[in-house]
Each structure stands twice: as C-alpha cells, then as structure tokens.
C-alpha cells in the first residue's frame, strides 16, 4: 500500500542537544582542570666519558689546560667563595663571567673558544643552584635578545669527599 | 508589508534561545585546551624545583635516547616512577643499558642522561649520580634548568 507523504503537516525533527552539551562541558572542565602552565626548561650539555683525562691535564689538540673554577660552600650549603684558578672572585658570578670573557671572548678567536674547557670543582655540600649559576656564567651571557656563547665544554672535577 | 522575524516557539509556548554561538565557543575552548595540554609532564615531578638559568633554552631537537633522572633535595633519585638511593642506582641503570643494547640503532654511548636535580640538592650528590652513570657506560649528560625571564639590556 502506498503511503503518501504530505509536506504540509510535516513537523521539524528537533535534535536533542542536551546530552551533547553535557559531554562538551565535561570535556571542557577536564581540560581546564588538567591545564597547567609549564615554564620552559633547557639543558646544559656535559660530556664526561669514562676515559677522560685526569684532573688538570689538557684533553684537546690545542693543549689548553682547563679553566678551573672552585666553588666552596658554607656549612649550610650556601656559596662561600668562587675562585678561578688562584684568583678569588668573592661570590660574584658576574665577575666569573667577566673573567671567562677575557680569556675566551675578547678576540680570542673561535678556535680558542672551541678548545676552551672549564672544570668545575665544587664542595660536596654546596647547593646545586650555585653550580648551575657557575655553569651559566661560564657558558655565556645575554646581550639584548642575543645569547653570546663562551665555553661549551664543561666538566666536573672528581667529586670531593662527602660529609 | 515586510515579513517580520518570528521567534521559534515550542508547543508549550516558551521561546528557545539560539545555542549555536555558545556551542561554537565551547568547541573553540576545548580545541584551545587540547592543543595546549602537555603530556610530557610525565618526566617532571613536583618535588623537584629546578635551578633557574637565563641561558637555559629548550633544545631545537629532542635529545637522542634521553633517560631522565630526577634528584630530590633529600638525595634520592626518581627514575621511571620509582625512587632509588645513589647506591641502588646501578640496578635500574643496568636495566636501561640492556634495553638500549637490545634495541637496534641505539647504544649506551649515544644515550643522554638528563639530570633534573633540585636546586637545593647537594652538588656532590649530582657528581655521584654522574659517576654511577659513567660506571654503567653512559657518557653524555645534560643538566636541566628552568628558563629565567630575560631582562633587556
């Protein structure tokens, strides 16, 4: 039997929006709750092969001895003094950066810059943030928006005895 | 006579608001949060407060075969959701080494150990961790720091 469709009396089919809106809002709440602003992180490369030369000996073809940076700690783990070689620099990491710039930066040429190496010798109990400050100071500095690299080869001296 | 817009009325006589702009907006918000959600936080731990460095920049390309070690202020190491002391560290490191050696194209010498050490952790502890990694055959290390806001001039 033929069924006649009459457009005149056809009613609009209304979609049920409520479940979709419910789900959409749940998704929105999930993403808002799990959203977390993470500040960017960066790495400082340290290459320490097992057969690395012992303390104080140069390990490159240019035979430049490593720049020794000594960091001493107070009893509470704070920084007591910075020494570059035998030169005391107080607790000023900017002074350390200036010293490294004088050796590596000031027209020394890219070959010296590539060959230069810094050896960080820190007290066992020194807080790590001071070591990171020293690594930052010898690695380079910021001029405006530009990063000027200094020393890229950084290594640690053999660890000092613990407490 | 111009036609006047008629409000859609349901059978009960209530006026229905237009939901389209609200749904559009909601979908845009969902898309925004979906794009920004960061699942790499699995490598991070709230116990670790990284030191801040103005030179720390996110790497241009991901590190090769990175293994993240997190050193807490107390001197323990977090690796793969487990906590170890420095003395216990060789066990999971050997496990990582075996996995690397069993995977074609990967090697211990090329792998990078990323050290996320707490800013108040002892420097000697960091060196001990590096030493243990060296004993297992790892050579490349990266010390992680949080990027500082740069001041112009």
Cα(A49)–Cα(A52) distance, integer angstroms: 5
- Using DSSP, state whether A72 is helix, strand or coil: strand
Confidence of residue A126 (pLDDT cuts 50, 70, 90): very high
List pLDDT tens digits, range B57-88: 777 777 778 899 999 999 999 988 889 998 99
Q: What is the predicted pLDDT for the residue at B150? A: 60
User: In the structure encoding, which two tokens stand for residue A58, read together?
Assistant: 């140069």
- Using CB atoms, which residue from B30, B52, B127 is nearest to A156? B127
Give domain status of residue A49, yes or no.
no
List pLDDT tens digits, range B8-28: 555 556 677 788 888 889 899
The number of domains in chain A is 1
Q: What is the mean pLDDT of residues A96-119?
A: 78
pLDDT at A145 over 60: yes
Could you tell me the sign of the dihedral formed by the alpha carbons of B84, B138, B47, B81, in that order? negative
CATH code assigned at B62: 3.30.420
Q: What is the mean pLDDT of residues A21-40?
A: 85
Cα(B33)–Cα(A34) distance, integer angstroms: 9
Give domain status of residue B47, yes or no.
yes
Contact between chains at A127 and B53 (C-beta distance less than 8 A):
no
ipTM of the shown complex: 0.73
pLDDT at B153 over 50: no
Task: Establish if A21 touches chain B: CB-CB under 8 angstroms.
Answer: yes
Give domain status of residue A52, yes or no.
no
**Domain enclosing residue A125, as ranges:** 67-156
Give domain status of residue A101, yes or no.
yes
Give domain status of residue A15, yes or no.
no
User: In the structure encoding, which two tokens stand for residue A137, read together?
Assistant: 């100071």
**Domain enclosing residue B60, as ranges:** 42-147
The number of domains in chain B is 1
DSSP lists the bridge partners of residue B70 as: B78, B116
């Amino acid at each position: 039997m033929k069924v006649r469709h009459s457009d005149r009396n056809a009613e609009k089919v209304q979609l049920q929006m409520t479940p979709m809106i419910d789900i959409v809002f749940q998704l929105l709440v999930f993403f808002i709750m799990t959203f977390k602003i993470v500040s960017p992180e960066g790495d400082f490369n340290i290459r320490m092969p097992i057969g690395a030369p012992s303390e104080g000996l140069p390990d490159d073809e240019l035979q430049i001895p490593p720049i020794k940076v000594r960091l001493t700690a107070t009893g509470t783990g704070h920084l007591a003094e910075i020494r570059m070689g035998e030169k005391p620099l107080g607790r000023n990491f900017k002074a350390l950066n200036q010293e490294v710039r004088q050796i590596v930066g000031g027209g020394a040429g890219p070959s010296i810059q590539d060959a230069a190496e810094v050896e960080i010798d820190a007290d066992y109990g020194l807080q790590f943030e001071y070591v990171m400050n020293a690594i930052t100071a010898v690695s380079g500095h910021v001029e405006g928006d530009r990063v000027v690299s200094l020393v890229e080869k950084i290594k640690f001296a053999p660890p000092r005895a613990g407490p | 006579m111009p036609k006047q817009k008629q409000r859609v009325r349901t059978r009960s006589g209530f006026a229905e608001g237009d939901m389209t702009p609200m749904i559009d907006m909601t979908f845009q918000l969902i898309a925004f949060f979906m794009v920004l959600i960061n699942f790499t936080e699995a490598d991070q731990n709230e116990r670790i407060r990284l030191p801040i460095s103005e030179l720390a920049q996110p790497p241009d390309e991901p590190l090769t075969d990175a293994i993240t070690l997190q050193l807490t202020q107390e001197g323990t190491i977090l690796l793969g959701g487990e906590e170890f002391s420095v003395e216990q560290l060789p066990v999971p490191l050997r496990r990582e080494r075996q996995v690397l050696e069993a995977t074609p194209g990967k090697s211990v010498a090329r792998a990078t150990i990323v050290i996320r050490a707490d800013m108040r952790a002892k420097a000697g502890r960091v060196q001990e961790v590096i030493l243990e990694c060296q004993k297992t055959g790892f050579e490349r290390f990266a010390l992680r720091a949080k990027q500082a806001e740069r001041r112009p001039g």
